[in-house]
Each structure stands twice: as C-alpha cells, then as structure tokens.
Structure 1
Amino acid sequence: MSTGNFIPDRLERMRKVMAGHVERGDLPGLVWAVSRGSETHIEAVGTLALNGSAPMQRDSIFRIASLTKPVTAVAAMILVEESRLRLDDPVDKWLPELADRKVLKAIDGPLTETVPASRPITLRDLLTLRFGLGAIMVYPFRYPLQHAMQEAGIAPSADLFRGSPDDYMKRIGSLPLAHQPGEGWLYHTGLDVAGVLVARAAGQPLSAFMQERIFGPLGMKDTGFHCPVEKVDRLATAYSRDFQTGKLGVYDEARGGSFAKPATFEAGGGGLVSTAEDYLAFQKMLLGKGRLGGERILSRASVELMTTDQLTDEEKASGRMFFNGNSGWGLGMSVALKRDNLWQVPGRFGWDGGYGTSGYADPENDLAGILLSQRLMDSPQAPAHYTDFWTSAYQAMS
C-alpha cells in the first residue's frame, strides 16, 4: 500500500526495468528494495541459480561482499564510543604485527628499499583506507609489492583469505607499506585489518560482537559470515562472466560452497551474507543517526563523522576509478559530494559489493536502497543493472 513516498506506476516501471535484466539473461535473478519514510518495497525476480530450480524470494540470501565494510566501521565505532578504542591512538597494543612499520621509498620499488614509518598506524587510518596497504590499481601486476601481496594470499580479490586472523596479520606484518600512514588511499585491506582489531579489542570473534551489538538489536536475523545449513536453500549461487564468451560460470555454489560453512577468517572487508530486509534495517539505523526504533546502536555524532568525507583532493585523485570525481570516503563507506546524476545526491552514503550488490542511503530524501544480485562485477565501472536500479529508485520518488 502506497503512503505517498513513491509513485505506484513508476514503481511498476522500476519492476519492469529490473526484470528485463533477468529476462535478457544478464543474470539469473535479483532482489531489490527501496524504503522511504514508512513505505518499503521489496521485490524479487528470477531464480537462485541458472538451472531455475528455485525462484528468488524476498528473503533470499546473498554474499554482500564490500557492503560488509560499513558494518565493520560501525562495529569499530561502537568500541570508540565505549573508549575501548580511540580513532587516533596507535593500534600496536591490539595489532603488534603493525608496530614499527617500514615504508617503501617508491611504490614501484624493491621491497628492500624502505624508510621507517613516520608514525604508528591508527584506527582512523584503517577505516579511511589510508594505513598503507591495499589494492594497487595497476594491471597486470608490475610492482614487487603487488606480487608479494599475491604470493602471501592477501592481495584484494574476490577470493577471501581462508587462514586464521593471526595468520592474516602475520602476513600483513611481513610486508612494507606502500606509503606513509595517513598519506595515501588504497582500497579494501584496511577494513579486513579493522575487523581483526575489533575482534581482539572486544575479546570475542567479530561475528559474535556484530551479532550481539548490531545484528541482534536490529533484527538482522539472516546476516553473518556464513550461511547456516538450515538456510542454505535460500542462498543464491554466485556466478562470474567469461570475458571472451560472455557466458556465466559458477563462481561459488550455494550448497557445499565457501559460504556454506563457518569462516576461519571473518573478513571485515567483504565476508558477510545478508538479505534485503536485513540490510535495509542497517541502512535505516544510519539514516536514523544511529537509531532504529527503540534501539540506539551509535550516537548521532559517530554517524555524522562516518558519513563525512575524510580524504584530501590528492587522495581522491589517486582513487579516481572509485570516486569518479563526485564522491569521497568517510569511515568505511563512500560519501557523495557532487550531484552529476539522478542518484548522486551530496551526502548520500554507502558502497557497492564485488559479488553483485549495491547499497546506499540518502539523508536528504530519507531514502534507503539495496540491490542484491549474484553476478560478480567485471570492473570498478558499475554494471547496467546497478545504474538502472538507482535511476529507477529516484524516478519513482513522489
């Protein structure tokens, strides 16, 4: 039932546009949701797998990849508010592997040519992705540090790290930094490290802390670092597209796949599974300045800090393919800075996930939206179904 926040015939247009991607064979299925004020619409089309054995449902479960990042940032800020962590204190107490860092003299130089780090690494460095390690967007790999990260199994990719958190940190600590702490921006790795920091500071696994402090209070009953056996029938099969043939091939099965068993490494940068309804609750908590219903997860001040751009113009320029000249990065998420498209409203925050997910919230329009698909992204360029989803969401507002 419409309450006036969306235009019904334009919502129908949205449904037809999104269903068209499935009908054309772009991907097996989709679930999407838009929420504005008290009005929420969740839709599902297509199937969980290419064989069409089971239809997509509103509560289908997806690997949300980098939509995990804002959740990890919220977990970290909970500990900041309790003074168990501080944004600008060295993390050495909890992450001794990061103490006494060496920094490459040149990002493309040999690993042996280093200088001492100018200062310790902080939580702020991790959440803003400025601590010194991450995705160096030069392909094919040419730099020694790129090859070293790949050989250590910690290069950012769709394949999540499968060892223990201690092993992950040992490997991170074995490498020099690409730049001085706080003086550059490299995607992804800082949020995986932040997840380890939260777990160590909280004295419990990251999954347990998130369940106790975020998922439980917000009613996010299907969100976690794996899909339990009793829910695996709702987990979508993940696919990647062959660049030469354009055909979809299985990347990760639902039953028996890598997300169907508990994770040894609970990746704060990209390891969660969730549903549209669950993630909407998380987004609406952020739109509510840290509160949803009677539950307060964070203070207004923390949410406002998280959703404020923290980067210099130079740092945004170094991540041009991520920021497109119209956005920046807060704590764990992107923040829109310039309106150059229907959906690019200054202050809008959120992120995209490489397994086929997109989730943003827009305080100006009190709008939250989540798109869940199971086709891996081919590049940092948003695929057509992302663009069509956000175009459709904004044209449907009353």
Structure 2
Amino acid sequence: MAANDFTPPGLNRLHRVLSGYVQRGTVPGLVAAVAKGDSTHVEVLGRRDVDRGEAMSRDSIFRIASMSKPITAVAALTLVEDCVLRLDDPVEEFLPELADRRVLKSPGSPLEETVPAERPITLRDLLSFRAGFGGVWNPDWPITAAMQEAGIAPAPPRFSPEPAPEPDLYLRRLGELPLIYQPGEAWLYHMPLAVTGVLIARASGRPFPEFLRERLFEPLGMDDTAFHVPPEKQERLVSAYRVDPESGALELADPGENSIWSEPPPFPDGGGDLVSTVDDYLAFARMLLGGGIYSGTRILSRPSVELMTTDHLTAENRRRGGLVNGAWDTAGWGFGVQVTTARSGLASVGRYGWDGGLGTAWFNDSRERLIGILLTQRLWQSPQPPDVAVDFETGAYAALAA
C-alpha cells in the first residue's frame, strides 16, 4: 500500500463496522474494496452460502444488478467514438420499433388518449433515462398494468415469474405501448439502458454479450464479468438472499449452485443482468477514474468519460422523475450514473456511481481519487441504500489520510 493514502486506524474502523454487519447477520457475507491511486484495501468477510457455510473469498462472484448500467453506457459511448452511433441521432434507424411514437396525454391517462411525439428518441435520451419510457410505480396508471401484462415492466433481474422476452420481442412489445412522457421530458428508470443493449447489438452487428467481452471485458481483464456463470466458475457464485417481510429473517432467493445465472438469459439486459467480482469492477472503476484508460489500455477518451459523469438533468426532469422523493436535491444523472451536485455529506461534488438492488454499491470520487465498491448478497429492500452501504461509504472517506 502506498504511504499516506489511508490511515491504519481508519481501515481498522472500516473493518470493524463491516464485520459488525456480518456478525449480526444483517448480511451473510461481503467483499468490499477502497482504492486510491495504486493503493487497494479489500475486506473479505462472512460466507458465500449460509446453509453450506462456505467462506467468502476475494474472487467470489456477485450479481451486480444495476451496477451493469454504467458498463452498458460505456459500451454505447465506444460506438459513438467509432462514429457508428451519434448521441443526438434518432435511434429508430436501428430500433424501428421506436419510430413514430405516440405519447400519453398525461402519465395516468387511458392508453388510447395520446398525442404525437414531439421528436424522435435519441441515444442521449436512452443514456440519461429521458426516453419517455421506463419504470413507473403508480399502480393506478393504466400504463403500469400494460407494461406488466406485456412482460416488460422493470423487476429485480431474473426474479420475475416470467422471464423477460428475447430482445426483438421486447422491443416489439415496447413499441406497441405509448410513451409515458415526451422524449427528454422526464427521468424514468431502467428500461432505456435495457434498450441500449439491443441498440448496441444491432448497430455493431454482434450479440451484446460478445460486444461487451471484446470491447470492455477482455481489454480490462474482467474475466469473471458476464451475463451468466459457466460451470467451472459456479462454485464461486454467492447465494442470494432476501428479507422475509414478516419475520425479518433472511431467506434464499437464488442459490449459488444451480443458480438462475447458470445459463445465458434469453434477453441479456444491460440495465441489470451482469455478474462480476470486486477486482473486475475495480478495473472498470479505475478506467473511468483514469479518464478512460487502464493499465495502458484506452477504452474511452477523457472527454467521453467527462460527458458520461456530468449531470444532464434539467429543472423539468427533476420535477417529474426520480426513484424517491428528494432524489435530485443534491444529485443528478449522467449516462448510467448518479452524480453528486451539492455537498451534503463526505462525498465531493462530482462523485458518481450507482448501486445494484441485489446487494451492491459503487462510487468514484474524482476529487479525492477514491473508489469504493461494496458487494453483498442481500437484496436491498428499497431504493434508498441500506445502512451497510451508507456506513461503508462513510468509512471509506473517513479512512483517507489526507
């Protein structure tokens, strides 16, 4: 470890806090990393599987859920730099299902009450979650039931009773429904990044998993990041747990052995389907913190990284969208990442990252040159990060030496 990056008392405190969550049974186990420059400190605690008692290891494989979104955003930007895609061109050239859209008169209107879209959907709209479609949480809106009936409503990755339809069918069903808002008008979660994966596949002429492997995972050495876990690696996949709402006890959601992730999915969803390890995601995070370059390999240009990690929300977007009330009081949204816009805690303005609802969290802080990655196998219970994630981030900053 390089001198003066982290203090030993700070790292000891971080270990003590994280160990407490494991000892109390809040999470069965975890792998966490804090990094600055060439320094890396990793915590490996608890068990991969509660029943079998398997110890957690640094190379344990986790379902990273929405931490997939920044990876998909980077993949799309590589095609922008290749001049295959343009941020402000209509995506209907490759996604004709999204052409000539109709838009609900209001989000709660009947599906037949629509007006024409004022403009086409662009890649910029998809990456910034302002495409006019996405997750809605009001059960009384007709569009909510329509998305559920079509099998395209956002849900925890692969835990829905019915698997997501394959990409072409997904796009066709999406194209049959009206937009909820005009393109550019509101921030709506998840689905635009799922669609971005289909766009990448069609624009590149290669399956999306293959494109990610060739353009990102192999150059960055992310050997364990993929849409499924092959047989030779399945012993390293952690079991996933959810909280029983009545008893508060942990119950198995998906085993490490014979997991849902043991087979490739019909629809490789770039918004939430990937698995990864702490060292794989560290390579990705270091690439972004390094202005698009990692270990001598250039993935993106520095301007593209800066564009990705800049807040793109307008005042109108802030009024209309968000996962929780007050979501945009001190934060905004870039391309696949949340961006801190006002200091309300230890994080610097400009800090960016995103969490995964199956139990993971990540942030980069360019001012501090700090990376934090937390991987657990307990599903989050709300859009708000749980205490273990909040305390991990606090501990990472508090361990800085200067």
2:150 is matched with which residue? 152
Deviations 1:313-340 (A, max 9, x none): 2312333545351100011111111111
CA contact (8 A) 2:227 2:275 kept: yes
Question: Aligned letter for 1:143?
Answer: W
> Cα RMSD (Å) of the superposition?
1.1
Larger displacement relative to structure 2 (357-366 or 260-269): 260-269
Give runs of aligned pairs for residues 140-289 of structure 1, distance below 5 A. Answer: 141-160=139-158, 161-289=163-291
Larger displacement relative to structure 2 (101-110 or 154-163): 154-163
1:333 is matched with which residue? 337
2:362 is matched with which residue? 359
Deviations 1:134-167 (A, max 9, x none): 11133xx111001111111111110445321111
CA–CA distance in 2 between the matches of 1:253 and 1:102? 42
Question: Aligned letter for 1:10?
Answer: G
Q: Alpha-carbon deviation of 1:216? A: 0.6
CA–CA distance in 1 between the matches of 2:306 and 2:104? 34
Deviations 1:75-134 (A, max 9, x none): 000000011000000111110110111100110010011111111111011000011111
CA contact (8 A) 2:91 2:121 kept: yes
Question: Structure 2 length as normaliser, TM-score?
Answer: 0.96
Q: Percent identity?
A: 53
Question: Aligned letter for 1:255?
Answer: E
Question: Aligned letter for 1:87?
Answer: L
Q: Alpha-carbon deviation of 1:52? A: 4.5
Consecutive unaligned residues of structure 1, counting only runs of 5 or more, are: none
CA contact (8 A) 1:152 1:171 kept: yes
Q: Which residue of 275, 294, 297 corresponds with 2:296?
A: 294
Deviations 1:212-237 (A, max 9, x none): 11111111111011111111111011
2:380 is matched with which residue? 377
Q: Alpha-carbon deviation of 1:261? A: 0.9
Question: Aligned letter for 2:186?
Answer: G
CA–CA distance in 2 between the matches of 1:325 and 1:225? 34
* 1:103 to 2:103 alignment: yes
CA–CA distance in 1 between the matches of 2:378 and 2:45? 14
Count of residues paired in the alignment: 395
CA–CA distance in 1 between the matches of 2:33 and 2:124? 32
Question: Structure 1 length as normaliser, TM-score?
Answer: 0.97
CA–CA distance in 2 between the matches of 1:320 and 1:53? 39
CA–CA distance in 1 between the matches of 2:319 and 2:179? 20
Q: Alpha-carbon deviation of 1:244? A: 1.6
Q: Alpha-carbon deviation of 1:2? A: 4.8
SS of aligned partner of 1:255: coil
Deviations 1:154-205 (A, max 9, x none): 1111044532111111111111000011111111110000011001111111
Question: Aligned letter for 1:387?
Answer: V
SS of aligned partner of 1:325: coil
CA–CA distance in 2 between the matches of 1:11 and 1:262? 38
Q: Alpha-carbon deviation of 1:264? A: 1.6
SS of aligned partner of 1:92: helix
- Is the alpha carbon distance of 1:320 and 1:84 closer, same or farther for their aligned partners in structure 2, counting shifts above 3 Å? closer
CA contact (8 A) 1:103 1:115 kept: yes
CA contact (8 A) 2:331 2:341 kept: yes
CA–CA distance in 2 between the matches of 1:396 and 1:101? 51
CA contact (8 A) 1:3 1:38 kept: no
Q: Alpha-carbon deviation of 1:69? A: 0.4
1:71 is matched with which residue? 71
Question: Aligned letter for 2:37?
Answer: G
Question: Aligned letter for 1:341?
Answer: G
CA contact (8 A) 2:128 2:333 kept: yes
CA contact (8 A) 2:2 2:38 kept: no
Question: Aligned letter for 2:361?
Answer: S
CA–CA distance in 2 between the matches of 1:320 and 1:65? 18
Deviations 1:14-63 (A, max 9, x none): 01100110100101101100110110011110001111421111110000
CA–CA distance in 1 between the matches of 2:319 and 2:289? 28
Consecutive unaligned residues of structure 2, counting only runs of 5 or more, are: none
CA–CA distance in 1 between the matches of 2:323 and 2:395? 24
Deviations 1:272-291 (A, max 9, x none): 00000100110110001101
